[in-house]
Amino acid sequence: MRRRDFLRHAAAAGIGCLATSGVRSHGGSGDTPPGFPVIISTWPFGREANLEALSVLKSGGSALDAVERGVMTAEADESISTVGYGGFPNRDGTVQLDAAIFDGSTLDGGAVCALTGHRHPVQVARKVMENSPHLILVGEGASSFAIAEGFTHQETLSEAARAAYQKWRQKHPDGQGKAEGHDTLGQVVLAASGKIAAACTSSGMAWKLPGRVGDSPIVGHGLYADDAVGGCVATGVGEEISKVCGSFLVIELMRQGASPDQAIGETLDRIARRPGQIPSISAAFVAVARDGRHGAGAIGSDFHYAITRGTETQVVKVKPRNRKG
Ligand code: GLY
């Protein structure tokens, strides 16, 4: 279906967000890759990730190298309580990390879920992609695989995270408090060559049930990429993002002709308009199309993203869309 036909069809089908999203597509002018890098990441800490990814591309690295090294910046940053070292633990006091990496050229991916003892789950995820016949490894299997791949066991509970956990346990001596926080770092890299890669990394929700896995390490939910269309990553409440296969849905809508903003708007509407939705849902997506256009949208919380086009990087605030009743 051509773009114009898609839009006509979407309007007829009541995909109202296409007209009312209140956001515009940015950059890009056709189906040809722009010939310069476009890098988008969730949250203000995505700025560091973008700068790192850009420097990897500049020194000849691939889109996959860039996205891996890009998100490692947040995994190493102790001050970020939702990713890597510094991430808050589950309700037993154990940090369980989720990450995935995905190659839009081959549709190959790798992921680890509930990984313990390693501060850089995205590196282990890449090894799963490249050195195992599998897509996802979880828990102890993921940790053993990491050791077999030459990673050494590391402390993953930072002092600040330990203190926050102790405070939480004092408030919730039975360990039954609500899980909180879900600020995944997701990044999409469109290299000048037109190759696209995506990655997500997250400690999931603080105080989650041991073994809980969100959207971030699940291909099609937290991330998706296809060089023929674009790349998308998500952040927010994984349980809600997964119910609509969020990132895959964004890319498939783009494949049918929607702009990144239109596709994200429709996907957020699907999350928001379900009957019985939880009022505290927050979810956000960022996406880049193969022609370099980018888009972003959020429900439920103030959301910022970092965008690099060529050599220029900025952090942009996104006004949350209203939830549908
Ligand atoms: N989006 C991160 C999570 O729900 O775990």
Query: Could you report the per-residue pLDDT of 267-312, keeping only the tens digit for each?
Result: 999 998 876 666 667 999 999 999 999 999 999 878 999 999 999 9
Output the pTM of the full model: 0.90
**Residue 316: pLDDT above 70?**
yes
Whole-angstrom distance, CA of residue 205 vs CA of residue 182: 5
Instruction: For residue 16, tell me if it sits in a domain.
Output: no
pLDDT given for residue 179 in this prediction: 84
**How many Cα atoms are found within 13 Å in the side-chain-facing hemisphere of 289?**
27
pLDDT given for residue 275 in this prediction: 66
pLDDT > 70 fraction of the chain, expressed in percent and rounded: 88
Q: What is the mean pLDDT of residues 70-86?
A: 97
Counting the structural domains of the chain, the total is 1
Residues 52 and 69 sit within 8 Å (Cβ to Cβ): yes
Q: What is the mean pLDDT of residues 3-9?
A: 41
Residues 237 and 282 sit within 8 Å (Cβ to Cβ): yes
Q: Which of 42, 184, 201, 267 is catalytic?
A: 184
Q: What is the mean pLDDT of residues 224-243?
A: 96
Q: Tell which atom from ligand 1 comes closest to the C-alpha of 82.
A: 2
**Residue 16: pLDDT above 50?**
no
pLDDT given for residue 26 in this prediction: 59
The pair phi, psi for residue 41, each rounded to 5°, is: -140, 155
**Residue 318: pLDDT above 90?**
yes
Whole-angstrom distance, CA of residue 313 vs CA of residue 161: 30
Whole-angstrom distance, CA of residue 154 vs CA of residue 260: 39
**Residue 111: pLDDT above 80?**
yes
**Residue 242: pLDDT above 60?**
yes
Residue 59's SS3 state is coil
Instruction: For residue 203, tell me if it sits in a domain.
Output: yes
**How many Cα atoms are found within 13 Å in the side-chain-facing hemisphere of 24?**
3
For residue 98, what are its two tokens?
A: 């989720």
For residue 257, what are its two tokens?
A: 């002709």
Virtual torsion, Cα 59, 131, 74, 94, nearest 10 deg = -160
Instruction: For residue 269, tell me if it sits in a domain.
Output: yes
CATH number of residue 145's parent domain: 3.60.20.30
221 within ligand 1 shell (Cβ under 6 A): no
Q: Tell which atom from ligand 1 comes closest to the C-alpha of 234.
A: 1
Domain that holds residue 34: 21-318
Instruction: For residue 9, tell me if it sits in a domain.
Output: no
CA of 202 to the centre of ligand 1 (A): 7
184 is catalytic: yes
Query: Could you report the per-residue pLDDT of 127-152, keeping only the tens digit for each?
Result: 999 999 999 999 999 999 999 999 99
Integer angstrom CA distances of residue 200 from 28, 38, 178: 24, 17, 23
Residue scoring higher pLDDT (15 or 146): 146
282 within ligand 1 shell (Cβ under 6 A): no
**Residue 322: pLDDT above 70?**
no
For residue 164, what are its two tokens?
A: 């926050």
The secondary structure of 25-42 as a DSSP string is -BS--SSS--SS-EEEEE
Residue 239's SS3 state is helix
CA of 130 to the centre of ligand 1 (A): 24
What is the C-alpha end-to-end distance of the chain, expressed in Å?
Answer: 31
pLDDT given for residue 276 in this prediction: 67
Whole-angstrom distance, CA of residue 198 vs CA of residue 102: 5
pLDDT given for residue 281 in this prediction: 79
> Across the chain, what does the average pLDDT equal?
90
Q: Which long-range contacts (CB under 8 A, 24 or more apart) does 140-148 make?
A: 142/112, 142/113, 142/114, 142/115, 143/115, 143/116, 143/117, 143/118, 146/112, 146/115, 146/117, 146/118
For residue 88, what are its two tokens?
A: 């808050």
pLDDT given for residue 11 in this prediction: 38
Instruction: For residue 2, tell me if it sits in a domain.
Output: no
Residues 285 and 268 sit within 8 Å (Cβ to Cβ): yes
Instruction: For residue 57, tell me if it sits in a domain.
Output: yes
Instruction: For residue 3, tell me if it sits in a domain.
Output: no
For residue 157, what are its two tokens?
A: 């509970």
Interstrand relation of 38-42 and 185-190 (parallel, antiparallel or unpaired) = antiparallel
Instruction: For residue 51, tell me if it sits in a domain.
Output: yes
Query: Could you report the per-residue pLDDT of 168-179, keeping only the tens digit for each?
Result: 999 998 888 888
Split at pLDDT 50, 70, 90, the class of 21 is very low
pLDDT given for residue 320 in this prediction: 83
